Structure 1
Amino acid sequence: MGTDGRDARGRIAPEDFLGIGELARRSGLSPKALRLYDASDLLPPRHVDPFTGYRRYGADQVGRALLIARLRGLGMGLERIRVICDLPADAAGQELRSWWLQEQADARTRSTEVASLLTDLRTLPTEESPMTTDHTERTAHTGHPAHPAHPAHPDERSATASAAVRIAHVLEQGGVRATQQDAVHVQDLPGGRLLLAIADGFGADDDLSGRLLDALGEGLRTALDSGADGPPASDVLAALESAWAALPDLLPADGASGAALLAAVLDGKRLVLAHLGDGRALLVREGHVEPLTRDHTQVASLVAAGRLTEEEAAADPRRAVLNRALAAGAPTAPDLIVRTLIAGDRLVLTSDGIHAVLTPEALGESLLAGSSSERTVQDIARRTLEAGAPDNLAAIVADLG
């Protein structure tokens, strides 16, 4: 028997063969990913049954599969991985070091270009949309009959906006979690603005999400309350940044708890979003659903950069691990996103208890069905609960008239 598990005729002993499921279990790669690496000739099986197509791998291929998984997790391309996998250990180490040195150099170059571009953008003239006044219609979801929801605030409030806004929200504990750590917040702000926010807590502090949202709302109210008419629209972004900057002070010092947080300020025709974590904001316009946010995970960043396929990401065990969140020791600055709204738009905020369960197709069916905001959140909750709802779930749907 040779050192690679083959006998003198080049055959692998039967006990050293692994099915694709067993190799997936040992390596952490999904069967779909293993098929992808077979198709790219990066990790071909030792034998494929000509009749059934059943793949059999050698036990000695587990190490290569583990190495591929780790290198893909770093965002390395398949061609570079193939080179490293075929080199002896010392040479492979030098190849990896060379790749990382170039990655760092590329990051420095991009950082310089981003700083220059930010300077240029600040000098461009901006056009603010004038605000008009109207009353906002507000409804709170009463919940799926078997799983009552918990509105965060009274149903009726007046607010001003560019047109009537119909808002409904849902907050459910789900079918598995012993406590509720999600929170929903809807609040009128000075100058006829409106705050919509959701938070998804994790760790030992069940009430952290609610406290963070209350503090964000109060901070925004204070920052924007500079008179009966409120400050100019250009100050909303600065007010949101200021209110957000105070939130890390509310985090437990032991780092045992934290939250993902997504906040939207409706400011006339302008939408200002602050996003940190894996809550998602969607804009539904003219029959299309546009994602406005991107999950703050390394896996999501690799997919966005084209370094990891959607199929690989779906099977990656780290796909839900946040690398940015409101948590001690993590980067706590949010993404700030500004969009212009038009009549007929629908804004949707969801916690990952919804979009981690529902496929984009299923969620899209609910959002594009033409139902009212209240019926839409009811349908989203129903679909999620029927799928098992392993996590708390929260959603806000706002329709602009």
Structure 2
Amino acid sequence: MDGTLLSIGELAAASGLSPKALRLYDESGLLPPRRVDPFTGYRSYGPDQIDRARRIAALRGLGMGLARIRVVCDLDDDAAAAAELRSWWRQEEADALSRAAVVADLVRDLGKHHSEDIMTTSTTTSTTTPRTAFALHQGLERPTQEDAVLIRELPGGRVLLAVADGFGGADDLSARLLRTLADAVEAAASAPPLAALETAWMAVEALVPTSDAAGSTLSAALLEGDRLHVAHLGDTRISLVRAGRLEHITQDHTQVRSLLEAGRLSPEEAAAHPDRRLLNRALAAGAPTAPDLLVRRLEPGDLVLLSSDGLHAVVDPADLAEALAAEGEDLESLATRLVDLALDAGGPDNVGVALARA
């Protein structure tokens, strides 16, 4: 191959994009290769295309459409390209304000702000406590354990499960966050479940470091009767398995994931984006720390899974779904098997898992 050209793998390494993403941008006309071998189909790129590849990735990461990206990238004047980007962003801000106004109107009309109704109060009273289990492993590559898992039975038949994933040399931050959350939820035993979680979260936020890179994600599930109440922030996850079907209750708080959910990035682009795991909400200095507060109905036999990304970001989704859908396995064995799946996949991260069977 001509030494002045790059293979698709070399361009991928230089730009942070995957070969799959580069093929996608070739097909869309955004980044055609300089040469395609007529016999092998191998693509070759010029070194000067590295900057364009990086710019395309950055603009797609913002949610800009392909047609507008082509306009920005084809402008040979940096000042003109900057003006085009500012113009696009002004409209994005205006659109966000318009959506915020509609959301505020809907919240007011629903009459559910700071109140509890049928979706936050159990309609049936369970006479049995959900079965639970957990597993925690440092993984095969991490020098310390920054994940934490907590399960606590609370007064009134409530059960709290929580998983936190510390980062940035957080030491025992995740464990302290979970203890604080559990103590505060227990102290708010007379409050409706979602209100108890929301109040407890304020105690958690008080522990967030204010001046360094340390922080944590946190997902908590409060089970009461036939309801699952959730407080969630970051990329720890809460999932529900019902009749063999796996449903993700929470959404990872990354910009790439939000754009995927909104249909502004394709699954292929999201999977290949260099910033796909970069959080934009977490319990960390300078980041938004307010949680998602969610409620779901539980049915007898439902399995609730809380996990750190040492599990779900490592294990093949099909393998994870198969393990969770298997019947007849006790929860302790299942928790251990989930950790084993992460270790079998290389175990690059800490792994935390909590399970509850309704």
TM-score (norm 1): 0.84
Q: Does 1:322 align with 2:315?
A: no
Residue 259 of structure 1 contacts residue 325 of structure 1 at CA under 8 Å; is this kept in 2?
yes
Q: 1:208 aligns with which of 156, 160, 173?
A: 173
Residue 232 of structure 2 contacts residue 292 of structure 2 at CA under 8 Å; is this kept in 1?
yes
Q: CA deviation at 1:67?
A: 1.8
| CA distance in structure 2 between the aligned counterparts of 1:352 and 1:261, rounded to whole angstroms | 11
Out of 248-257 and 388-397, give the one that drifted further.
Answer: 248-257
| CA distance in structure 2 between the aligned counterparts of 1:94 and 1:325, rounded to whole angstroms | 32
1:341-365 deviation line (CA, Å, top 9, x unaligned)? 1112111110011011012111101
Q: CA deviation at 1:279?
A: 0.5
Within 5 Å, which residues of 2 pair with 1:136-151? Answer: 136=129
Q: CA deviation at 1:175?
A: 0.6
1:357 — aligned with what? 314
SS in 1 for 2:247: strand
SS in 1 for 2:286: coil
SS in 2 for 1:214: helix
| CA distance in structure 2 between the aligned counterparts of 1:135 and 1:344, rounded to whole angstroms | 12
| CA distance in structure 2 between the aligned counterparts of 1:96 and 1:250, rounded to whole angstroms | 38
Residue 125 of structure 2 contacts residue 226 of structure 2 at CA under 8 Å; is this kept in 1?
no
1:178 — aligned with what? 143
Q: 2:288 aligns with which of 328, 331, 337?
A: 331
Query: Which residue identity lines up with residue 200 of structure 1 in the other structure?
Result: D
Unpaired runs of 5+ residues, structure 2, are none
SS in 1 for 2:231: strand
SS in 1 for 2:144: coil
Query: Which residue identity lines up with residue 177 of structure 1 in the other structure?
Result: R
Within 5 Å, which residues of 2 pair with 1:105-120? Answer: 105-120=94-109
Q: Does 1:280 align with 2:280?
A: no
1:47 — aligned with what? 35
1:214-252 deviation line (CA, Å, top 9, x unaligned)? 11111011111x4xxxx5xxx211111111111122233
2:123 — aligned with what? 130
Unpaired runs of 5+ residues, structure 1, are 1-12, 137-164
SS in 2 for 1:16: coil
Within 5 Å, which residues of 2 pair with 1:242-261? Answer: 242-261=199-218
Query: Which residue identity lines up with residue 295 of structure 1 in the other structure?
Result: D
Out of 312-321 and 364-373, give the one that drifted further.
Answer: 312-321
1:347 — aligned with what? 304
Query: Which residue identity lines up with residue 310 of structure 2 in the other structure?
Result: G
| CA distance in structure 1 between the aligned counterparts of 2:75 and 2:337, rounded to whole angstroms | 54
Residue 30 of structure 1 contacts residue 312 of structure 1 at CA under 8 Å; is this kept in 2?
no
| CA distance in structure 1 between the aligned counterparts of 2:67 and 2:168, rounded to whole angstroms | 40
SS in 1 for 2:161: strand
Q: Does 1:92 align with 2:97?
A: no
2:332 — aligned with what? 374
1:4-41 deviation line (CA, Å, top 9, x unaligned)? xxxxxxxxx93322211121122222111110011111
Query: Which residue identity lines up with residue 33 of structure 1 in the other structure?
Result: A
| CA distance in structure 2 between the aligned counterparts of 1:194 and 1:131, rounded to whole angstroms | 15
| CA distance in structure 2 between the aligned counterparts of 1:309 and 1:285, rounded to whole angstroms | 27
Residue 193 of structure 1 contacts residue 265 of structure 1 at CA under 8 Å; is this kept in 2?
yes
1:300-350 deviation line (CA, Å, top 9, x unaligned)? 112112222222222222222211111122111100010111112111110
Q: Cα–Cα, structure 1 residues 281 and 133, in superposed 2: closer, same or farther, change >3 Å? A: closer
Q: Cα–Cα, structure 1 residues 199 and 123, in superposed 2: closer, same or farther, change >3 Å? A: closer
Residue 284 of structure 1 contacts residue 345 of structure 1 at CA under 8 Å; is this kept in 2?
yes
Q: Identify the structure with bigger relative contact order (alpha carbons < 8 Å, sequence gap 6+).
A: 2
Q: 2:349 aligns with which of 376, 384, 391?
A: 391
Percent identity over the alignment?
A: 57
Query: Which residue identity lines up with residue 145 of structure 2 in the other structure?
Result: Q
Query: Which residue identity lines up with residue 180 of structure 1 in the other structure?
Result: Q
Q: Cα–Cα, structure 1 residues 123 and 169, in superposed 2: closer, same or farther, change >3 Å? A: closer
SS in 2 for 1:337: strand
Name the count of aligned residue pairs. 352
1:104 — aligned with what? 93
Residue 255 of structure 1 contacts residue 329 of structure 1 at CA under 8 Å; is this kept in 2?
no
1:37 — aligned with what? 25
Q: Does 1:270 align with 2:205?
A: no
| CA distance in structure 2 between the aligned counterparts of 1:123 and 1:24, rounded to whole angstroms | 48
Residue 280 of structure 1 contacts residue 295 of structure 1 at CA under 8 Å; is this kept in 2?
yes
SS in 1 for 2:169: coil
Q: Does 1:167 align with 2:125?
A: no
| CA distance in structure 2 between the aligned counterparts of 1:252 and 1:61, rounded to whole angstroms | 41
Query: Which residue identity lines up with residue 127 of structure 2 in the other structure?
Result: D
User: What's the C-alpha RMSD, in Å, of the aligned pairs?
Assistant: 1.8
1:46-79 deviation line (CA, Å, top 9, x unaligned)? 2111111111112232232222122112111111
Q: Does 1:221 align with 2:190?
A: no
SS in 2 for 1:357: coil
Query: Which residue identity lines up with residue 19 of structure 2 in the other structure?
Result: P
| CA distance in structure 2 between the aligned counterparts of 1:93 and 1:376, rounded to whole angstroms | 53
| CA distance in structure 2 between the aligned counterparts of 1:375 and 1:314, rounded to whole angstroms | 31
TM-score (norm 2): 0.94
| CA distance in structure 1 between the aligned counterparts of 2:51 and 2:143, rounded to whole angstroms | 39
